[in-house]
Amino acid sequence: MEMISFKRGQVAEIVESNEKIYWLKVNIEGEIQNAVNYVELTGRPKLGDELVLNTTAVELNLGTGGQHFVIANESIQSQDLSGSGHIMKLRYTPMQLKCMACEEEDSPHYETVKNFKSLEGSLFIIGTLHSMLAPIASHIKCKSPETKINYIMTDGGALPIDFSKTVTDLKAKGIVDNTITSGQAFGGDYETVNIYTALVVAKEVLKSDVTIVAMGPGIAGTGTKYGFSGIEQGYISDAVKSLGGRSISVPRLSFADKRIRHRGISHHSLTIFGEIMNKPTELVFPKLGQEEDSFIKSQIEQSGLGTLHSICFEDGSDLKESLDSYNLRIKTMGRGYDEDRAFFETLGAVANYAVKLGGE
């Protein structure tokens, strides 16, 4: 059984590029289609170059991953290694790559990671969707410009951090200071083997005031109770608490989603907070209005979350001002702020809560 499809094509247009990624138009059998090229994997393409493209996601009609990815550029005959590091990511696949992980002996951060004792109450905000990153980070930065914000990208979604235009934008605007890619995710300013050492690096190496943890673009879901990649929020929060940190877990909340299981507090969040987490976390919900607040409170009561975690309600309605001030047009599941106010005001509430903690 073949698990990937691939085709040959030619570079027809370079739509956008930077030192790490090229967004291309490619000619495949006379049809112009979109493709992504990672420079560190397959070099810098030129117009007319002959490519081998992974076409699987397009054939499956997927969303975030629904474009072609360059497997090889046949116009580039060879490519030599450069830089340092010996830790492999995407291990034992044709695209395996080496990086300098903070944990390895040649790393300048090796002794720091090795001698780690405790997170000492450092603050970590843990989300389930990539679309949570920019609203939370921008609102904190707008409210508290001196706050040092770093981002840990997990391997629950896209693995190359350069696929995220959001991260590129946040760094360019000075909202996020540094990035860490953990597990099989790669391409961050700092690389780590797993989420535990990513937490250590955020605190000990980057001296974060606030660290936001979330996967890259493209959550995987199946419609089953436990079969979604966002379930990682549970064990990441537990990791923070086990290492002595402070965990704020972001609820996934919406009244715009047509699926009943995602109405109010998503069934994903209820599962994570009620069954997956073994240690208490801090949960922040928005103040939306009497009807919506009552619905959320009834969900909290029926699920017993109030006995498991520390819960508070914060106003998050001022988030839109921060998004506008940074000219951020963020969408989640295709919906913007005005189409899914509850989702975004949850993120505003979380950010406001974090800012208050910083002022204590």
Inform me whether the pLDDT recorded for 322 exceeds 80.
Answer: yes
SS3 at position 103: coil
Q: What angle do CA 272, 273, 275 make, to 5 degrees?
A: 65
Q: What is the mean pLDDT of residues 205-216?
A: 98
What pLDDT band is residue 63 in, cutting at 50, 70 and 90?
low
Q: What pLDDT score does 156 carry?
A: 96
Q: How many CA atoms lie within 13 A of 196 on its CB side?
A: 13
Contact in structure between 277 and 247 (CB atoms under 8 Å): no
Q: At what angle do helices 133-143 and 341-358 cross, to 10 degrees?
A: 40
Q: What's the chain's average pLDDT?
A: 95
Other beta carbons within 10 angstroms of residue 206's beta carbon come to 20
DSSP 8-state secondary structure symbol assigned to residue 255: S
Contact in structure between 57 and 37 (CB atoms under 8 Å): no
* Widest distance between CA atoms in the chain: 65
Which ranges of the chain does DSSP label H, i.e. alpha helix?
39-42, 56-59, 110-114, 133-143, 165-172, 195-200, 232-242, 267-271, 290-303, 305-308, 319-325, 341-358
DSSP 8-state secondary structure symbol assigned to residue 96: -
Q: Which of 177-181, 218-222, 301-305, 326-330 is predicted least confidently? A: 218-222
Q: What is the mean pLDDT of residues 128-147?
A: 97
Inform me whether the pLDDT recorded for 64 exceeds 60.
Answer: no
Summarize pLDDT for 225-234 with one digit per residue, the tens: 999 999 999 9
Contact in structure between 249 and 273 (CB atoms under 8 Å): yes
CB-count burial class (<10 Å; 0-12, 13-18, 19+) for 173: middle
Q: What pLDDT score does 358 carry?
A: 81
CB-count burial class (<10 Å; 0-12, 13-18, 19+) for 312: exposed
What pLDDT band is residue 83 in, cutting at 50, 70 and 90?
confident
Q: How many CA atoms lie within 13 A of 331 on its CB side?
A: 8
Contact in structure between 185 and 161 (CB atoms under 8 Å): yes
Give the DSSP letter string of 174-204: TS--EEEE-TT-B-SSEE-SSHHHHHHIIII
329's tokens: 């047009």
Q: What pLDDT score does 359 carry?
A: 60
